[in-house]
Amino acid sequence: MPLLTFDSADLGYGTQVVLPALTLSLEAGERVALLGQSGAGKSTLLAEIRRRLGNTAAWCPQGYGLVPLLSVYHNIYMGQLERHTALSNLCNLLKPRRQAWQAIETLAGELGLEGLLRRPVAQLSGGQRQRVAIARAFYQQREVFLGDEPLASVDPHQALRLLAHIQTRHASSIVALHQHRLALAHFDRIVGLRDGRVVLNAPACELTLAHLDALYPDAGKSSRETEVDATT
Amino acid sequence: MSAPPGLLQGTSPGLTLARRSLALTLLCLLLLPFADLRIIAVDPWGELWRMVQGFVWPDFVALESPLRAIVLTVSVALWGTLIGALLGFPLALIFHRSRLVRAFCAFVRAIHELFWALLFLQVFGLSAVTALAALAIPYAGIFAKVYAEILELTPKAPTEALPAGTDRLSRFLYAELPLAWERLASYTRYRFECAMRASVLLGFVGLPTLGFYLESAFREGRFGEAGALLWLFYALVATLQWWGHRRLLLPLLIGALFFLGPWPDVDGDLLWRFVSHDLWPAPLLDGNLAGLGPWLSSLPDLLPAIGNTLLLALMGTVGSLILALLLWPLASVHFGRPWQRFGGRLLLVVLRSTPELMLAFIFLLMLGPSMLPAWLALALHNGAVIAFLVARHADGLTIGMAGLPASGRYAYELLPRLYPNLLALLCYRAEVIMRETALLGMLGVATLGFYIDSSFQYLMFDHAFFLLLVTAALNIAIDAISRRFRPREVPLDDPCSR
């Protein structure tokens, strides 16, 4: 069953087309890794997928998109803002609701954020902020997980753990990332973008690291290989 | 071999700005002969000497109930700012969507606090309502504009990360307000400092704040007393960070309520008569449009007044530019020894904290009634404001080449980086200077403010109101022009610098 299909669609912002004549089909229940260097069009594609899926997809944006002045609890709570009335959201800002607090406490514990619920996000490290952003996406409780580089600022071990959490909680996931080994080992399919075109679209089991290097301008050079190793 | 480019030839942004500033300065020099810059006083230096003596040996004992004046000054400033912020905030939320709101805000902030005070004085008398409305109404317009700008600049990422279908209020409370809070609070604090100065000035129209006692002490030559009052005011401003602390705000606000007063008995009929009848030209109310001609010709001669107002604004702006260029190194870590810097900074803070009208008044007593005292006051006050901010900006820069002489550091390292910012600040200040020129009319300089003040004194409210509208229109025009010439892409765009 297809989750959604693009049939030679022009994607972009306003009049500027980033991904011309895109043809791509994504299946429900599939784990898709989105690869390509920055500027290849990953974020544009994810934004459009998010627009089409609406509230069936949880969203974890690039650069976290957190509110530094608010506590970890409130930032995670923002994942369910649309399910409550404005008045109850306002009250929750002044005094956290018991139910929400307990749900978020469990979620935070799972992601290694225990004891940080009251702390303003401004006082957290990059890796902790990353996990708050993922927790907020989890709190949305959707079937599909959409992430724009949600593993960019954590170490390789943590990336692995977080990815496992993401995939057990969501039937489908579409994730943009840079870690090639992780993409090959833990995703069903890999979609590679280069200069606004899909240049790679294949099951992960049929691909090797060398295939993925074709996504970069200095393709084939061994220096790329070592750099990738360093980041995975 | 190619010839080097001629004087000021080239297309680099620095040269463009330099050409623009020089053109402005030249225009000012060309028009200077039309300004009335006579020194009328018999013995200006003797007068200055007596004032300095009063300042150096202040006579605190002679003060009658200074505490009451201080408390009233602070109370009016506090509540004026609070009411202004409460009115301005909802306006800020619709500021960018409604042309009507923008026009209304531009109008109310184009009229100086003191003119609003003169207007309300006719209805509410010398009362707390007059004082609070005089501050709160123009501040509502200013808050609306600046709050709207701050809110517009908040990062959009958190809003975009919210799930679809989040209601407007929750979006605002969770993803917009917390991001803007710090800047909103710091701007409100800055506006409160402005309100302190304005509150002092309200004394000039007779409300019993510090300015009232200052004016009478200066006017009657009791310089020891005047010096003491000035010292009290500086002490009040200098200690603001302690007594105006966030935690003390609520007790201060509640306490201030007990000192605000007197509260007027408002006569509804009189108020309605004033608003619906007294403010408007009689021929217009009678539907007699032909009668408007004679009414217009009964107005004081407007063109010289407008000319004087514009000329003084131009002179004030150019004067501030030159003074800012000269003064900023005094307070910057890149120049001088620590003790010299301390002195420089003190000078700038004193010039910045003294209300312009106060400065003009002091110069007026010294030099006699011409444009000269007004010019000096405008240039000194606004030049110091800009110099202070530029020095703070300069302190954040590191010099690339070590061991340059001071002139090299000034002209090659620092000024090229600071100048766009300095000009941007000057363009913001141009509007403030314009508001103040009109105001200086109250001291007898023949600007629009002079005729507004005298129309109020002769109870010709229709004239006064019409002149106020002209003043507001001029201000809005100047604001639009200065916004056009403001350098874009300046590194430091702090709303508190306006």
pLDDT at B31 over 60: yes
Q: Do A81 and B178 touch (CB under 8 A)?
A: no
DSSP notation for B201-228: HGGGGT-SSHHHHHHHHHHTT-HHHHHH
Q: Which fold would CATH assign to domain B58-268? A: MetI-like fold (1.10.3720)
Nearest to B161 among A65, A69, A89 (CB): A65
Would you say the C-alpha torsion A53, A54, A60, A61 has a positive or negative sign?
positive
A146 chain-B contacts, CB cut-off 8 A: none
Cβ contact B210:B326 at 8 Å: no
Question: How distant is the Cα of B167 from the closest Cα of chain A, in angstroms?
Answer: 7
> Would you call B258 helix, strand, or coil by DSSP?
helix
Output the pTM of the full model: 0.83
CA pair distance B459, B205, nearest whole angstrom: 15
Longest alpha-carbon distance in chain A: 58
Q: What is the pLDDT of residues B397-444, one digit of tens each?
A: 888 777 788 888 888 888 888 888 898 889 888 888 998 887 788 888
The candidate with the shortest Cα–Cα distance to A126, out of A99, A92, A151, A91, is: A151
Nearest to B165 among A55, A64, A93 (CB): A55
Please give the torsion angle defined by the CA atoms of residues B421, B423, B426 and B430, in that order, rounded to the nearest 10 degrees. -140
For residue B163, give the amino acid letter.
P
Cβ contact B159:B176 at 8 Å: yes
B184 chain-A contacts, CB cut-off 8 A: none
Mark out chain A residues that contact chain B at CB-CB < 8 A.
54-55, 59, 61, 63-70, 74, 78-82, 84-86, 89-90, 93, 133, 136, 140
Q: From A68, which residue of chain B is nearest by alpha-carbon distance?
A: B179
> Would you call B127 helix, strand, or coil by DSSP?
coil
B165 chain-A contacts, CB cut-off 8 A: 55, 82
- Is the fold of B14-44+301-497 the same as that of B58-268? yes
Question: Superfamily for B14-44+301-497?
Answer: MetI-like (1.10.3720.10)
> In this complex, how many residue pairs, one in chain A and one in chain B, have their CB atoms less than 8 Å apart?
72
Question: How distant is the Cα of B242 from the closest Cα of chain A, in angstroms?
Answer: 24
CA pair distance B174, B177, nearest whole angstrom: 7
CA pair distance A150, B195, nearest whole angstrom: 48
Q: What is the pLDDT of residues B192-215, one digit of tens each?
A: 989 999 999 999 888 999 999 998
Sequence-separated (6 or more) residues with CB below 8 Å from residue A142 = A55, A56, A57, A58, A170
CA pair distance B364, B204, nearest whole angstrom: 15
Instruction: Name which of A161-170, B50-59, B78-87, B480-489 the model is least confident about.
Output: B480-489
Q: From A47, which residue of chain B is nearest by alpha-carbon distance?
A: B160
The CATH code of domain A2-231 reads 3.40.50.300
Give the CA distances from residue A152 to residues A157, A175, B189, in Å, rounded to whole numbers and listed in that order: 12, 11, 39
Confidence of residue A190 (pLDDT cuts 50, 70, 90): very high
Question: Please, where are the H alpha helices in chain A?
Answer: 42-53, 72-77, 86-94, 98-110, 126-139, 156-169, 180-186, 209-213, 222-231
Q: Residue A224: its pLDDT value, please? A: 44
CA pair distance B57, B396, nearest whole angstrom: 38
ipTM of the complex: 0.80
> Where do the structural domains in chain B lie, given as residue ranges?
14-44+301-497, 58-268
A64 chain-B contacts, CB cut-off 8 A: 157, 161
> Where do the structural domains in chain A lie, given as residue ranges?
2-231
Q: Do A78 and B161 touch (CB under 8 A)?
A: yes
Q: What is the pLDDT of residues A42-98, one digit of tens each?
A: 999 999 999 999 889 999 998 888 998 899 999 999 999 989 999 999 999 999 999
Average pLDDT over residues B106-133: 92
β-bridge mates for residue A147, sequence order: A60, A175
β-bridge mates for residue A145, sequence order: A58, A173
